Copies of this chain bind each other. A is one copy, B any other.
């Protein structure tokens, strides 16, 4: 692997650890815990892993430990820092006994089921320290949910003499990690399972988990680009830039980028849903901001759009649900492609027809015609950033005729996702991820299973960070999935009474009207701490006393 000068220099970086993890640890156990909802049901489903205490590590006495092997899985989409979780795991087991081994299962959970693995050696790990991507062992989206998978898994785990399996993933993967932990505990298979909180979207977050890893780096990478675009926008003064950002089910990324860059407009899906806004309401909100800036002669600006916004508009959510039903029938499947649009219009409710007819033709067609392999409407194909800018242009034309808008409107479009998912981790993510991995080995050494590795107080310098574990069951409740109630980790949406959103709301009118752009620039790894080591503004606001 040929390396860039930055990679070569960055390979030398030694991630920071919380003080407690810098030497031998002792586990301090709290009181028994309960799940966040449906306590009785969750308890019944997880008799062996329910109610366990939260754990905090403190400095302890040195202890001897026999060599032990650990397996690791990367599950789901990439997030910056995954390689550092693995290097933390590697260094963690080696400090306990240098003969311990780390095995990586290849291309995600499927590697466990299909017995595809490799030993992660010292030479290998050194190639990947402080780098982005999940390419060291690859990732995958196979879900570990079935008994036969668990049984196939145990075979290879036993063959490799693996004491514990670490699953690095999002809410679903950690839920499944807990189901697996419970299954192996119930069967007394003697293999522990530990989770690590990853989602780039930042929606795996709660009282115990301050942030999911990768969120910091991704937001900083997108903010660099947004800042650059804003500087361009403010220099040429002739375009409105519509910038779509990752975040299907939560708007944390858009919100954090707004806090960093102070764009003119940032849409928050959770707010759109809470206020039951229509697509036209959203368009009108943007168009009015455009018109207001035009009165000052400023025919330029920036709009941040979370990827999932369309699905948060209640009227469209309803329409999509009905379209999925209507088009799933055998009758509908027989309809010729060029008759399908008419068929849809004849078969949906009057209320939904009104919404359907209000959509731009191409979007309506996309909703009626394009299906994913499961037969569902493909919302992700809709280029929301273009849809919104076209509708804003149309609205502005009307406003112009009504004498309510004087100005020129021209738009540029951007979508940032892949640009940040595999960026090299910021110092924050490098330290946080390394600590999560290192800490997981201490949970393993303490015989824990069904726990998630957690690191807290991360708005303070790393040596003040708090390391420990939280029972995964503690974060669970029951939710309907595919028609059945299932135990799941509750997804963290943007809280409309939370400090980051409230701060944004207190500023957004000023940002909309005036040019208040901030230009964060690229992530820095070597400069002053004020530049290199700041966590996200979201976290800073959340932890402000």
A interface list, Cβ under 8 A from B: 2-10, 77-78, 107, 131-135, 138-139, 221, 224-225, 227-229, 231-237, 241, 260, 262, 412, 414, 418-424, 516, 518-528, 530-531, 534
Contact = CB atoms under 8 A, between A and B. Distances in A.
Complex copy number for this chain: 2
A459 B134 CA distance: 35
A135 B5 contact: no
A290 B237 CA distance: 41
Contact of A525 (B228, B231, B412, B527): B527
Given A4-B520, A5-B531, 16 more contacts: A2-B518, A6-B527, A7-B519, A9-B531, A133-B232, A133-B234, A135-B235, A138-B235, A221-B228, A228-B418, A232-B418, A232-B422, A412-B418, A414-B418, A414-B419, A526-B528
A297 to B, nearest CB: 12
Nearest to A10: B521
Residue among A8, A133, A228, A524 with the most chain B CB within 10 A?
Answer: A228
B4 A138 contact: no
B420 A228 contact: yes
8 contacts: A2-B262, A5-B530, A221-B522, A225-B225, A228-B422, A423-B521, A524-B524, A525-B527
Given A132-B231, A232-B78, A526-B528, A520 B6 contact: yes
A422 B444 CA distance: 49
Contacts of A231: 78, 131-133, 135, 422-423
Residue among A7, A139, A418, A530 with the most chain B CB within 10 A?
Answer: A418
A117 to B, nearest CB: 17
Given A228-B221, A528-B9, A135 B234 contact: yes
Contact of A138 (B228, B237, B422): B237
Nearest to A7: B519
Given A6-B531, A221-B228, A228-B420, A134 B235 contact: yes
Contacts of A531: 5-6, 9, 526
Contacts of A138: 235, 237
A535 B236 CA distance: 27
A6 B521 contact: yes
Nearest to A77: B236
A372 to B, nearest CB: 13
Given A139-B235, A262-B2, A531-B6, A421 B228 contact: yes
Nearest to A262: B2
A178 to B, nearest CB: 25
A2 B224 CA distance: 15
A224 B228 CA distance: 14
Contacts of A262: 2
- What are the 8 A-B residue pairs with the smallest beta carbon separation, nearest first? A522-B522, A526-B527, A231-B422, A133-B231, A6-B521, A232-B422, A134-B235, A4-B520
Contact of A229 (B229, B234, B419): B419
Contacts of A78: 231-232, 235-236
A232 B10 contact: no
A528 B13 CA distance: 13
Nearest to A227: B4
Nearest to A8: B530
Contacts of A234: 133, 135
Contacts of A414: 418-419
